[in-house]
Amino acid sequence: MIFYFSGCGNSKHVAETIAAGLNDTIVFIPEAAREGRYEYELAEGERLGFVFPIYSWAPPKLVLDFVKKMIVKVGPSTGSGTLPYTYFACTCGDNCGLTEKVFRKAVEEKGWHLSACFSVQMPETYIGMPGFKLDTEKNAQLKIDRADDTMMRNIPRLIDNECFSEIVKGSLPWLKTYLVNPGFNKYATDDSKYRVDLKKCTSCGRCMYVCPVQNIKMPQGEPVWLGHCIMCMACYHQCRSNAIQYGKATVGKGQYYFGKKLRWK
């Protein structure tokens, strides 16, 4: 069973590709969490997989919170079987810092053991601060092509239950994961900076439907953010009329969503 989170489709693509390779099923974490589905039973020998994007050099808090609450039983109804082969694949625009360390700790606190992990570079989705921008269309396509190679190389290793770690940490990983990330979670997920251009907004409701954590309502036909944003930026990237901006940071930066031809400028 593969548990995944994805804001803009990159990690969904990776989760679906791995699931196809392993003939496995996928569970969307925000939906499971919303419905209070935390208990799962794995068949003997079934793998336990996680796929998620890197948010500020760590797994998204939503993913870690879900793992913390999960109850996984192995084997026929008694849950008395051996520990499952557990792995994660994370998608990143560039690099992951000490994500492996953070996720390994979360898994070990459950009494599980992390056997394998790998990172997959995918097109950038974060543009919520000055200085952050999308990849060019050419670069984005290059990343997607290489990502498929990475997956084709690593899926057979998962099938073989191989123990391996192939994570791109980048420079100053400790600083990024243990200093920048807590600051990001505390200060950079403020959704009061979202605004909508009412001349462009068509009230189609797309932003509301694509929000993975149901943080948008449209009481008067225009989006209102409810204060529990995780900053995936799906609402911004998916808006067909480009009516949504995040402060001034997103102005003129284009839109990207996996599998959709959107605006690059």
Footprint of ligand FMN on this chain (CB under 6 A)? 6-12, 53-57, 91-95, 122-126, 231-233, 258
Closest distance between ligand FMN and the C-beta of residue 160, in Å?
A: 26
Closest distance between ligand FMN and the C-beta of residue 204, in Å?
A: 21
Query: Is 260 strand, coil or helix?
Result: strand
Closest distance between ligand FMN and the C-beta of residue 37, in Å?
A: 21
Amino acid (1-letter code) at residue 71:
I
What's the burial of 137, exposed, middle or buried (CB within 10 Å: 0-12/13-18/19+)? middle
- Judged by beta carbon, residue 23 or residue 171, the one nearer ligand FMN is 171
Closest distance between ligand FMN and the C-beta of residue 223, in Å?
A: 18
Closest distance between ligand FMN and the C-beta of residue 45, in Å?
A: 28
- Judged by beta carbon, residue 51 or residue 114, the one nearer ligand FMN is 51
CA distance 30 to 14: 17
- Judged by beta carbon, residue 95 or residue 242, the one nearer ligand FMN is 95
- Judged by beta carbon, residue 126 or residue 194, the one nearer ligand FMN is 126
- Judged by beta carbon, residue 12 or residue 85, the one nearer ligand FMN is 12
- Judged by beta carbon, residue 75 or residue 247, the one nearer ligand FMN is 247
Closest distance between ligand FMN and the C-beta of residue 152, in Å?
A: 18
Query: Is 226 strand, coil or helix?
Result: coil
CA torsion through residues 203, 207, 213, 215, sign: negative
- Judged by beta carbon, residue 93 or residue 223, the one nearer ligand FMN is 93
DSSP alpha helix (H) spans, 43-171: 61-69, 99-108, 137-159
Closest distance between ligand FMN and the C-beta of residue 61, in Å?
A: 11
Cβ-contact 140, 256 below 8 angstroms: yes
CA distance 146 to 150: 6
Cβ-contact 255, 262 below 8 angstroms: yes
CA torsion through residues 105, 110, 116, 120, sign: negative
Those residues whose C-beta lies under 8 Å from the C-beta of residue 9, and which sit 6 or more positions away, are: 257, 258, 259, 260
